[in-house]
Structure 1
Amino acid sequence: MLIFSKIILLLLFFTTSTLQIEEYCEIDDMVCKGASFKQNYRYLFYDVNPPEGFNLRRDVYMRYAIWAHKLMLNSRLEYHKYVKLVLPPWSRLYHWRYSEKPEFKPWSYYFDLESLQKFAPVIEMYQFFDDVKKTGSNKVLIDEVYILQHYEDMFQSGKFIEKMSIEKCNEPVDPNYFYYKNITSNNVKCLSFHGFTDQLTNLFETSSSKTFLFIHGEVVLHSNFGDKLYWKCRRSMRFNKHLINIANEFRNKNLNSTDVSDKTELPEDWKEEKPRRTALGGPYLSVHLRRGDFVRARPKDTPTISHAAKQIKNRLIDLSINKVFVATDAKINEINELKSILESDGFQVLLYEPNKNVLQKFGDGGVAIIEQIICSYSRYFIGTYESTFSFRIQEEREIIGFPVESTFNRFCGGDSFECEPPSKWKIVY
């Protein structure tokens, strides 16, 4: 199919004689550091709809990481156990402000890869391409490509029924995945899908293919949302240590906040974390004030700047603190308005402003993570209703061990100071 001659970024067919990847993967009691899977090694790739944001993509990763984890541990057939999940690199996302062109940053720019590998058998895309070069060719042939799509009538029955079937494509096929031009496939199908990741297992276990690509990976839902396995995966998603250090330096310098004084110390290895609700947090309030498209799309849940300022002020008074850290996508005039209102009442408003070096190395994704870290360690957090950015902060605070009442809070829209609270997804160990 010529339309897929430009299929970008994703899979390769490796002959078993050339497949030698040195890696680190520790799955529970299974250790394979430096192992070389020359025989039954198989690759899973996924893509995400380009308009989807950074924090939703993190959630999609979890769906496939948990699936890969389960395949490796629980597969009925020994031949199918050796799985590697290839992480799609980060290119410029639509809502990022600082980046002007695709950058193809690996996951290790944002997350601790070794920590991820203690839960799921993952490798970076550049590691995958390094092995492609060993075959003497720059071209990749994907064995099975599935373009996931929703059923057009999936909600008409009023019941949630798991199903999947190969059908006519709902939309024209876009071959421009990840901007790569050297990946092709002779086997591309549109898979109408309604259900959870575990449904894909049948495709995997009834096939002898080495490589699988799932386009529009966000269509598939969590099989383990909110349970113990979900939280193991989430806890493994520790941030890049350089980003943590940048955020900690900001906390210490501007917010009088350290892990020792805030009772927020975590063990080096996420597997050693224990249930607790003893975190105090730094002497500051943190807020995520989502503006952008929320102002138009969710006007009833998105406060005006003046009403947001009133809610912040009330909480600062309740907490007897005078500093608030603000993470926001608001325009500069809105930020100035917020600061003017609060500072006129004697409160201090802080935002993280990245320097040139941070922007050049980590881009918008790094800035977002730094802001999330700072918000995660505050005494009290107020988020934006149904924002994935706020969800991720709430998850971090659950991992750190904050009391529930200091985490699951939101801005109210309109003129109200009372509104429906966010869902409380508590950590499970």
Structure 2
Amino acid sequence: MQIKTHFCIVLFNTIVLASHAHEKVDVFKPDTHSHAEFGEAKSVRYLLYDVNPGEGFNLRRDVFMRVANLVKFLNDDEPWVLVLPPWGRLYHWKSQDLNQIKVKWSTFFDLASLREHIPVIEFEDYLTVMGEEVVEEIYYLQRYKEGWTNGKWEEKMDIRDCIDRVPYQKDEDGKWRGWFFGYENVYAKKFACLSVQSEAGNMKSFLMKNTTSRSVMLERAEQVIHGQYSEFSSMSVMLDRAEQLIHGRSGQHSTNYWDARRSMVFAKHLRDIGDEFRREYLDSTDENDKTVLKSWTQMKKNHGEAKGGPYISVHLRRKDYLYAHKEQVPSLKYAAKQIKELLKKNKLKKVFIASDCDENDFETLKGFFKKAEIYRYKPTQEIREKYKDGGVAIIDQWIAAHARHFVGTYVSTFSFRIQEEREILGFDPETTFNRLCSESEEECEQPSKWKIVY
């Protein structure tokens, strides 16, 4: 199985690299190739997906990992390529002056790194390969109308009538039209609602047995959960907490989860911007901080190897959290008090703030510090236009991930992603899994330590 998967990835990467040597992406036909270890060559199939429009950037990264590992399992039996859904119209992308649709994954992530895990292709390249602006089948993933049977979880999926109003309609020509990432002429040939209670990996059986289409799209892919990818036994463990359902964490992470996560290396142009800020303002370099990034397939760091730059980093979530989680969000004054204690404990004088707060709140926060130096990253207009709100958020995460000590915000996926980045870099978990407390909390529970597994 490993040989077949490896061949598919190598073959696909070779074709993609060759195609980008020309102005236009060449149409390729992988089924014309053969390989001794693959037996009879099979046509490459394409898996597309989308997520509920209300989900944010960092939850969407989590859904990518679920679907990516589904593609990994599919490649054990036949060649599948994951089509990366263009970014756009996200809730937290508030900059109205920016054109933030049809944003490619290469804007944010290193595609060569992703391809070390599974074959991936940008949506525009997929359209070129197909030779037509079409998705052959869409399955709209939905809950079961009756809920869990007898209140218990069980793996199942069935084609059902649609429960909610779906964002696709059949036109007079019998073509299904809807939102395809801002590409107006794209249509689907077939559409159905699929009620599903399943781990992502278990979608493999459905895709292998129920469709032979060249391209299949899973709409609302967040409906499937990580699961344990057959590496750990009890599905019931994952149902103990809603957080575990969302993030697929149940005491011990699977290696497949972490392989997918480690492959999500930020694009070099964004890392370079963050690294320049670290050097200029925070006296931080990878060599001094022991955070040199190598190929993720070869990088296995022990906890405590990374030292981090001589600063504290803080993710201070405001805006919607001020009412959505008001009991867990500290006032600016109380946040400053906790940061001062961390500075004293770590014998540091610099703080990096990653926050959605406005400039007035940031200046108010700074006013509580007399000796410490407080920084936040402010992008130029050129960087904002080129890399969008998502790129600016990644730069914030990259800088925050390299600090000597990190403290985040209660149940924030933005904080979760920073914690994972620090696990990959090799930080001591005691410096990573921390959060700010509010004045109203009698007991301030700190985040669970979701440690990396190789």
TM class, shorter-chain normalised? 0.7 to 0.9
Tell me which amino acid in the other structure corresponds to 1:326.
I
Which residue of structure 1 aligns with residue 39 of structure 2? none
SS where residue 180 of structure 1 aligns? coil
Q: CA offset at residue 360 of structure 1?
A: 1.2
Q: Distance in 1 between matches of 2:443 and 2:109?
A: 36
* CA offset digits 1:71-113 (Å, max 9, x no partner): 112x3xxxxx110110011113121133544331110110000
The question of 1:222 aligning with 2:226 is answered yes
Alignment TM-score, normalising by the size of structure 1: 0.87
Cα pair 1:154 1:194 within 8 Å, conserved: no
Secondary structure at the aligned position of 1:34 is classed as helix
For the residue of structure 2 that corresponds to 1:324, the secondary structure is: strand
* Counterparts of 1:392 and 1:151, CA distance in 2: 30
Amino acid at match of 2:139: Y
Whether the aligned pair in 1 keeps the contact of 2:8 and 2:75 (CA below 8 Å) is no
Deviation at 1:152, TM superposition (A): 3.5
Matched, 1:263 2:261: no
- The answer (yes or no) to whether the contact 2:148–2:154 under 8 Å persists in 1 is no
Once the two structures are TM-superposed, the CA of residue 230 in structure 1 deviates from its matched residue by 1.0
Q: Who is 1:119 aligned against?
A: 117
Look up the match of 2:24: none
2:58 paired residue number: 55
Cα distance in 2 between the residues matched to 1:152 and 1:316: 52
Quote the residue 1:379 is aligned against: 404
2:420 is equivalent to residue 395 of structure 1: yes
Q: Distance in 2 between matches of 1:29 and 1:49?
A: 30
For residues 41-96 of structure 1, the C-alpha deviation after alignment (integer angstroms, 9 at most, x for no partner) is 111000111111110111111111111011112x3xxxxx1101100111131211
Match for residue 283 of structure 1 among 310, 314, 323: 310
Residues 227, 123 of structure 1: CA spacing in aligned structure 2 closer, same or farther, 3 A cutoff? same
Contact 2:73/2:204 (<8 A) preserved: no
**Aligned partner (choices 174, 179, 182) of residue 176 of structure 1:** 179
Could you tell me how far apart the structure 2 residues matched to 1:295 and 1:163 are? 38
- 1:99-114 equivalences in 2 (<5 Å): 99-100=96-97, 101-114=99-112
Distance 2:144 2:317 in 1: 31
State the distance in 2 between where 1:64 and 1:98 align: 29
Residue 349 of structure 2 is aligned to residue 322 of structure 1:
yes
Counterpart secondary structure, 1:214: strand
CA pair 29-208 structure 1, distance change in 2 beyond 3 A: closer
Asked if 2 retains the 8 angstrom alpha-carbon contact of 1:287 and 1:324, the reply is yes
Q: Which runs of 5+ in 2 are unaligned?
A: 16-28, 32-41, 168-177, 229-247
CA–CA separation in structure 1 for the residues paired with 2:5 and 2:338: 46
For residues 264 and 410 of structure 2, what CA distance do their matches in structure 1 show? Answer: 23
Match of 2:26 in 1: none
Q: Give the letter aligned to residue 298 of structure 2.
A: E
Matched-pair contact (CA < 8 Å) for 1:26–1:118: no
Corresponding residue of 1:13: none
| Contact 1:62–1:234, Cα closer than 8 Å, also in 2 | yes
CA deviation profile, 1:279-310 (whole Å, cap 9, x unmatched) = 11000000001111111011111111111111
The change in CA–CA distance for 1:313 and 1:417 in structure 2 (over 3 A counts) is farther
C-alpha contact 1:324 1:348 (8 A) present in aligned 2: yes
The answer on 1:34 being equivalent to 2:14 is: yes
CA distance in 2, matches of 1:28, 1:309: 54
Q: CA offset at residue 156 of structure 1?
A: 7.1
Q: Distance in 1 between matches of 2:186 and 2:93?
A: 27
1:211 pairs with 202, 209, 215, which one?
215
Give the Cα separation in 1 of the matches to 2:6 and 2:422: 25
> Which of residues 79, 82, 85 is equivalent to 2:79?
82
Structure scoring higher RCO (CA < 8 A, sep ≥ 6) equals 1
Distance in 2, Cα, partners of 1:353 & 1:98: 14
**Superposition deviation, residue 190 in structure 1:** 0.8
Q: Contact conserved, 1:41 with 1:84, CA < 8 A, in 2?
A: yes
Answering whether residue 301 of structure 2 is matched by residue 247 of structure 1, we say no
Deviation at 1:159, TM superposition (A): 2.3
Q: Which residue identity is paired with 1:86?
A: V
Gaps of 5+ in 1: 1-24, 76-80
Change (3 A) 1:401 1:417: farther
What is the total number of aligned residue pairs between the two structures?
Answer: 391
SS in 1 for 2:354: strand
Q: CA deviation at 1:416?
A: 4.7
The yes-or-no answer on 1:188 pairing with 2:215 is: no
User: 2-side partners of 1:270 and 1:215: how far apart?
Assistant: 30
Letter in 1 for 2:114: L
Q: Does the C-alpha gap of structure 1 residues 111 and 161 become closer, same or farther in structure 2, counting only changes over 3 Å? A: same
CA, structure 1 residues 379+164, in 2 after alignment: closer, same or farther (shift >3 Å)? same
Q: Are residues 1:65 and 2:68 paired?
A: yes
CA contact (8 A) 2:314 2:400 kept: yes
**Is 1:273 the equivalent of 2:276?**
no
1:235 maps onto 2:267 in alignment: no
2:297 partner SS: helix
| 3-state SS of paired residue (1:424) | coil
Tell me which residue corresponds to 1:15: none
**Per-residue deviation at 1:30?**
5.7
